[in-house]
Amino acid sequence: MLKIGGIIMSFIDFTSITLKMLIDSHILKPGQVIYPMKGKMKVEGVLNEDGTISMTINTKIRHFLSPSGAAKAVENKSVNGWIYWGVKENNALVELSTFRLKFKEGL
Protein backbone atom coordinates (compact mmCIF):
# COMPACT_ATOMS: atom_id res chain seq x y z
CA MET A 1 0.00 0.00 0.00
CA LEU A 2 1.02 3.57 -0.67
CA LYS A 3 -0.02 6.76 1.10
CA ILE A 4 -0.56 9.77 -1.18
CA GLY A 5 -1.91 13.04 0.14
CA GLY A 6 -3.32 11.33 3.22
CA ILE A 7 -5.05 8.61 1.17
CA ILE A 8 -3.90 5.01 1.41
CA MET A 9 -4.01 3.34 -1.98
CA SER A 10 -3.77 -0.38 -2.62
CA PHE A 11 -5.07 -0.42 -6.19
CA ILE A 12 -4.94 2.30 -8.78
CA ASP A 13 -5.87 2.50 -12.44
CA PHE A 14 -2.81 3.10 -14.64
CA THR A 15 -4.37 6.08 -16.42
CA SER A 16 -5.22 7.82 -13.16
CA ILE A 17 -1.53 8.12 -12.21
CA THR A 18 -0.65 11.81 -12.53
CA LEU A 19 2.61 13.72 -12.77
CA LYS A 20 1.89 15.08 -9.29
CA MET A 21 1.72 11.52 -7.95
CA LEU A 22 5.04 10.67 -9.63
CA ILE A 23 6.65 13.80 -8.17
CA ASP A 24 5.21 13.22 -4.68
CA SER A 25 6.57 9.67 -4.71
CA HIS A 26 10.02 10.93 -5.83
CA ILE A 27 9.95 8.96 -9.08
CA LEU A 28 10.21 12.25 -10.98
CA LYS A 29 11.56 15.52 -9.61
CA PRO A 30 10.43 19.12 -9.89
CA GLY A 31 12.71 20.93 -12.33
CA GLN A 32 13.29 17.86 -14.51
CA VAL A 33 13.26 18.70 -18.19
CA ILE A 34 11.09 16.75 -20.61
CA TYR A 35 11.77 16.42 -24.34
CA PRO A 36 9.77 15.12 -27.32
CA MET A 37 10.64 11.43 -27.83
CA LYS A 38 10.82 11.80 -31.60
CA GLY A 39 13.25 14.70 -31.39
CA LYS A 40 11.65 16.57 -34.28
CA MET A 41 10.81 19.68 -32.30
CA LYS A 42 13.38 21.83 -30.53
CA VAL A 43 11.17 22.31 -27.51
CA GLU A 44 11.34 21.27 -23.90
CA GLY A 45 9.17 21.45 -20.84
CA VAL A 46 9.93 21.61 -17.14
CA LEU A 47 8.11 19.59 -14.49
CA ASN A 48 6.75 21.71 -11.64
CA GLU A 49 6.22 20.65 -8.03
CA ASP A 50 2.44 20.88 -8.45
CA GLY A 51 2.51 18.37 -11.34
CA THR A 52 2.12 20.93 -14.11
CA ILE A 53 4.49 21.43 -17.04
CA SER A 54 5.96 24.82 -17.93
CA MET A 55 7.03 25.58 -21.49
CA THR A 56 8.03 28.68 -23.40
CA ILE A 57 6.02 28.96 -26.61
CA ASN A 58 6.46 32.01 -28.83
CA THR A 59 8.32 33.82 -26.01
CA LYS A 60 5.45 33.25 -23.55
CA ILE A 61 5.68 30.92 -20.56
CA ARG A 62 2.68 28.59 -20.52
CA HIS A 63 1.63 26.05 -17.91
CA PHE A 64 -0.09 22.78 -18.75
CA LEU A 65 -2.04 20.49 -16.46
CA SER A 66 -1.05 17.32 -18.31
CA PRO A 67 1.60 15.90 -20.64
CA SER A 68 -1.06 15.59 -23.36
CA GLY A 69 -2.01 19.26 -23.04
CA ALA A 70 1.64 20.26 -23.43
CA ALA A 71 2.07 17.93 -26.42
CA LYS A 72 -1.06 19.31 -28.07
CA ALA A 73 0.32 22.85 -27.74
CA VAL A 74 3.45 21.74 -29.61
CA GLU A 75 1.83 19.57 -32.29
CA ASN A 76 -1.46 21.46 -32.76
CA LYS A 77 -3.38 18.18 -32.55
CA SER A 78 -4.38 15.67 -29.88
CA VAL A 79 -1.41 13.59 -28.77
CA ASN A 80 -0.86 11.09 -25.96
CA GLY A 81 1.62 13.11 -23.91
CA TRP A 82 2.70 10.11 -21.84
CA ILE A 83 4.38 8.63 -24.92
CA TYR A 84 5.19 11.96 -26.62
CA TRP A 85 7.47 13.23 -23.82
CA GLY A 86 10.55 11.67 -22.31
CA VAL A 87 13.05 12.35 -19.55
CA LYS A 88 16.79 11.95 -20.03
CA GLU A 89 18.32 9.11 -18.03
CA ASN A 90 21.85 7.84 -18.68
CA ASN A 91 22.04 9.73 -22.01
CA ALA A 92 18.80 8.20 -23.28
CA LEU A 93 15.22 9.44 -23.40
CA VAL A 94 12.80 7.43 -21.29
CA GLU A 95 9.10 7.76 -22.08
CA LEU A 96 6.99 9.34 -19.34
CA SER A 97 4.67 6.32 -19.42
CA THR A 98 7.57 4.22 -18.08
CA PHE A 99 7.43 6.17 -14.84
CA ARG A 100 3.76 5.33 -14.43
CA LEU A 101 4.75 1.66 -14.55
CA LYS A 102 7.42 2.25 -11.89
CA PHE A 103 4.82 3.91 -9.70
CA LYS A 104 2.31 1.11 -10.13
CA GLU A 105 4.97 -1.54 -9.40
CA GLY A 106 5.69 0.22 -6.10
CA LEU A 107 2.10 -0.12 -4.83
Handedness of CA 52, 9, 89, 76 (dihedral sign): negative
DSSP states along 2-13: EEETTEEES---
pLDDT tens over the chain, length 107 residues: 555 555 555 556 778 899 999 999 999 999 999 999 986 668 899 999 999 999 998 889 999 999 999 999 999 999 999 999 999 999 899 999 999 989 888 75
Are 48 and 54 contacting, i.e. CB atoms less than 8 angstroms apart?
yes
pLDDT of res. 52: 97
pLDDT of res. 105: 80
pTM of the model: 0.82
